[in-house]
Amino acid sequence: MLNISSNTINQRVELERFQSFQKTALSRANRMFTRWLLFTMAAILAILFLPWTQNVQSKGKITTLQPGQRPQTIQSTIAGRIEHWYVREGQLVRKGDTIVYLSEVKADYFDPELVPRSARQVTAKEQAITAYESKVEALSSQIDAMEAELAYKQQQLTNKVQQMGFKLASDSAELVQAYVQDSIAARQFERTRELFGLGNKSRTEMEDKRAKMQEASAKYASARNKLESTRNELENARLALVSLPYEYNQKIAKAESDKYSTLSAKYDAEGSANKLRIEAANYQQRSRFYFILAPQDCYITKAIKPGIGETVKEGEEVVTIMPADYELAVELYIRPMDLPLISYGQEVRFIFDGWPAFVFSGWPGQSFGTYQGEVVAMDNEISANGRYRVLAAPKAGTKTWPAALRVGSGAQGIALLHNVPLWYEAWRRLNGFPPDYYREAAEETPKMKAPVKSVK
């Protein structure tokens, strides 16, 4: 029956007696399906109004929080040949333990006594510097002595010039006296000779006067010569006094030239000594690089150059290690469109490879097997894959991450955002809109009124 009219005959006629009514009547299953469908639609409608946590998902991998805790390689500082391995792969070594020993391959460093001989060269050069310093001191003393001697000689010659002046005055007086005596003797001889001619004087007296005249003449000539000699000595003393500074200045200049030449040699020796010290220190330091040591507590993961007798170049990788102590973190790559939704300290849920999890991305409270973290670092520059790198570390006060996690394992990150109705999330995804991006507005700062000017 279509039950179109309000006038029904269901109560007046026994419909079970008529086969046609039985064939057109609805079955019990149809009525149950209709009820189930209506219930399902009501349930779906109710679910659409449930809260949904928006999120940003990204694939990542496990890394370490500190750069020095990540897997790294150890390079050879010098070129050498592998002589002996002290470790095996997978072994735990402590900081400073020897990993491998290298021998020298360059001909410049083959001498086994290279370091002590370099030290002896430095000692010899230092002794040469000491000898130069002693020579400089000796030359300085010699210069001081010559300057003192010059002053003494100048004083001595000054005194001699003064003495010669006094002697010249004395000789001049003697010359005058000799001249007077010579004149007197000559006049006496002339008078005696005249008297001898008149017969008033004897020949003996005349000869005596002649002898006295000759003696006075000789004394006059001697006094004149003595005066000239004294005058010459005075001139020589004056010339010596004038030439003395030139003579000593030449000697002092030569001594100073030798002094500065010695200083130059000393400075050259000091430069050579410094160069030798650098070479000796380099040789000493190079000898330490024969042993490659563990930079920190770590595990030996792989020997890149395993062969005994194999040569390695400077800076070439020898072995890879994994630090023993590290703090785990997850490295995620976020699309540029989702980057504004990520902030420091934001909560992130992780699903690690190898750990089973039951996840409802929109209902984190109903998920099981996930681990919590927080954003601690974000790159300001886009990576080569066209995404931004984000680093998330374990969140304090939450479930501890599994101890068996290893660096390099995969992880699925779910960054939790805002809570919205489920119907809104479905509508957003159907339209391709990004998750909501908004921040709570800061409390408005009350405006300060300008103070009222006082009335004078």
Residue 379, domain CATH: 2.40.30.170
**CB contact set of 379 (below 8 Å; sequence gap of 6+):** 388, 389, 390
Q: How would residue 441 be classed by pLDDT, with cut points 50, 70 and 90?
A: very low
User: What are 138-188's pLDDT values in tens digits?
Assistant: 989 999 998 898 888 889 888 888 888 888 888 888 888 888 888 888 888
- What pLDDT is recorded for position 28? 64
Distance CA 297, CA 92 (A): 7
- What pLDDT is recorded for position 316? 92
Nearest to 414 by CA among 430, 397, 435, 396: 435
Say if residue 263 is in the same domain as residue 139: yes
- What pLDDT is recorded for position 412? 86
For residue 310, how far is the Cα from the chain centroid? Answer: 34
Greater confidence (320 vs 18) lies with 320
Of the listed ranges 113-127, 256-270, 426-440, the one predicted with least confidence? 426-440
- What pLDDT is recorded for position 444? 42
Residue 11 has pLDDT above 80, yes or no: no
Q: What is the mean pLDDT of residues 176-201?
A: 82
Question: Sheet containing 298-303: which strands, arranged edge to edge?
Answer: 72-75, 317-323, 298-303, 92-93
For residue 455, tell me if it sits in a domain.
no
For residue 444, tell me if it sits in a domain.
no
- What pLDDT is recorded for position 397? 87
Say if residue 35 is in the same domain as residue 138: no
Q: What is the mean pLDDT of residues 50-72?
A: 85
For residue 347, tell me if it sits in a domain.
yes
Of the listed ranges 8-22, 167-181, 220-234, the one predicted with least confidence? 8-22
Burial of 58 (0-12, 13-18, 19+ CB in 10 A): buried
Q: How would residue 365 be classed by pLDDT, with cut points 50, 70 and 90?
A: low
Say if residue 334 is in the same domain as residue 312: no
Say if residue 419 is in the same domain as residue 280: no
Domain count of the fold of the chain: 4
Residue 445 has pLDDT above 90, yes or no: no
Q: Which two tokens stand for residue 268?
A: 């050259």
Which of 288, 313, 340 lies at the terminal end of a domain, its last residue? 288
Greater confidence (46 vs 84) lies with 84
For residue 92, tell me if it sits in a domain.
yes
- What pLDDT is recorded for position 30? 67
Say if residue 233 is in the same domain as residue 124: yes
Say if residue 35 is in the same domain as residue 85: no
Residue 430 has pLDDT above 70, yes or no: yes
Say if residue 332 is in the same domain as residue 406: yes
**pTM of the predicted protein model:** 0.58
Distance CA 7, CA 4 (A): 9
Q: Which two tokens stand for residue 441?
A: 């507005």
For residue 337, tell me if it sits in a domain.
yes
Domain span at residue 159 reads 114-288
- What pLDDT is recorded for position 106? 87
Angle at 173 between CA 170 and CA 175, to 5 degrees: 110
Say if residue 128 is in the same domain as residue 267: yes
- What pLDDT is recorded for position 453? 44
Q: How would residue 62 be classed by pLDDT, with cut points 50, 70 and 90?
A: very high
Which of 238, 263, 288 lies at the terminal end of a domain, its last residue? 288
Greater confidence (95 vs 420) lies with 95
State the chain's mean pLDDT as an integer: 82
Q: What is the mean pLDDT of residues 360-385?
A: 78
Provide the percentage of residues in the chain whose pLDDT is more than 90. 22
Say if residue 146 is in the same domain as residue 276: yes
Provide the percentage of residues in the chain whose pLDDT is more than 70. 85
Q: How would residue 96 be classed by pLDDT, with cut points 50, 70 and 90?
A: very high
For residue 103, tell me if it sits in a domain.
no
Say if residue 249 is in the same domain as residue 387: no
- What pLDDT is recorded for position 202? 77
Beta carbons of 435 and 417 less than 8 angstroms apart: yes
Say if residue 347 is in the same domain as residue 215: no
For residue 191, tell me if it sits in a domain.
yes
For residue 382, tell me if it sits in a domain.
yes
Residue 448 has pLDDT above 50, yes or no: no
We report the CATH number of the domain holding residue 93 as 2.40.50.100
Of the listed ranges 121-130, 315-324, 348-357, 416-425, the one predicted with least confidence? 416-425
Which of 270, 288, 306 lies at the terminal end of a domain, its last residue? 288
User: What are 281-295's pLDDT values in tens digits?
Assistant: 888 888 889 999 999
Distance CA 71, CA 133 (A): 56
We report the CATH number of the domain holding residue 212 as 1.10.287.1700
Residue 437 has pLDDT above 60, yes or no: no
**248-256, long-range: CB < 8 A, 24+ apart:** 248/146, 248/147, 248/149, 248/150, 248/153, 251/146, 252/143, 252/146, 252/147, 252/150, 255/139, 255/142, 255/143, 255/146, 256/139, 256/143
- What pLDDT is recorded for position 452? 42
Tell me how crowded residue 416 is: count the other CB atoms within 10 A of its CB: 17
- What pLDDT is recorded for position 446? 43
- What pLDDT is recorded for position 317? 92
- What pLDDT is recorded for position 454? 40
- What pLDDT is recorded for position 394? 92
Q: Tell how strand 410-421 and strand 347-352 pair up.
A: antiparallel
Of the listed ranges 105-119, 135-149, 197-211, the one predicted with least confidence? 197-211
Say if residue 166 is in the same domain as residue 267: yes
